[in-house]
Amino acid sequence: MHFNTLTTLSVIGLASAAPSIPRQAPAELSLTQKLTIADSSVDRFNLLPNDSDFVFKYLEKITPGGKGGDLAAANRKTFPALVGTGSGMAVGFLDACGFNTPHIHNRATELQIVIDGKVITEMLPENGVLRDGKRRVIRNELTKFQMQPFYQGSVHTQYNPECKPATFIASFNNEDFGTGQIPDELFALNNDIVTAAFGESFSGADVDKFQGAIPQSIALGVKECVQRCYQADGVTLKDPAGNNDPKSYAQHY
């Protein structure tokens, strides 16, 4: 292809007339990002100069999880020292009758051990896992120092059936284990899709009602437990002397 002088000058003129896009200054990298791209493990340690960088204070990192409990999670973002370890860990505080709604972990298997109280668990591994021709639900009642695995991608849930708090520790084989609450995700879909999935068992207008009623994570569950443990307002425990203040974990541990 040949260009004459006139064509070349025209191209140069068009290029010079084009609006220039201002360059944005690069954002400062987070500590997690710096650790991720560090050339070596030695460089990672140099990015964590303080001994306290290797301590995660769970009671200072509690994230409100809903009406029935709270959660504190150590992952690569909340605890940068985990970068490169392939590990994460969470502590869950289930209040009396607290219910951790059905969820999955996108990138990790969870090993959960109860360290105080009692927790009822249910898990659905995957399609094809059946018992007597029906989808198998693996259900257990865990007490202090008992542990159960929840496999990556499996739908599972935990529930405290007692009138006092329960506490569990969960370890993960991924520093960014992720969580997806099944009810929240399901009802976030288009109303037509949700009603079709339930066989038109309720109307689209009802979907909106369900959406507003679903808590994002740890919910106050099971009617019988609430009636047994709480006064008519559903908030005040019938036994106020039971050390059941859901926001005072630091007093108990």
- Predicted pLDDT at 200: 65
How buried is 177 (Cβ within 10 angstroms: 0-12 exposed, 13-18 middle, 19+ buried)?
buried
The angle formed by the CA atoms of residues 235, 241 and 247, to the nearest 5 degrees, is: 50
Per-residue pLDDT of the chain (253 residues; tens, 9 = 90+): 555 554 444 544 555 555 666 666 668 999 999 999 999 999 999 999 999 999 999 999 998 777 788 999 999 999 999 999 999 999 999 999 998 989 999 999 999 999 999 999 999 999 999 999 999 999 999 999 999 999 999 999 999 999 999 999 999 999 999 999 998 898 899 988 888 887 766 666 666 666 666 566 666 657 788 889 988 876 788 875 454 444 443 344 3
Q: What is the pTM of this model?
A: 0.79
User: Looking at this protein, which amino acid is placed at residue 167?
Assistant: T
Residues 6+ apart with CB under 8 A from 62: 70, 71, 72, 93, 249
Domain ranges of the chain: 60-179+217-241
Question: pLDDT by residue (tens digit) across 199-214?
Answer: 766 666 666 666 666 5
CATH class of domain segment(s) 60-179+217-241? mainly beta
- Predicted pLDDT at 233: 77
E strand intervals along 37-84: 63-64, 69-74
181 and 100 Cβ atoms separated by less than 8 Å: no
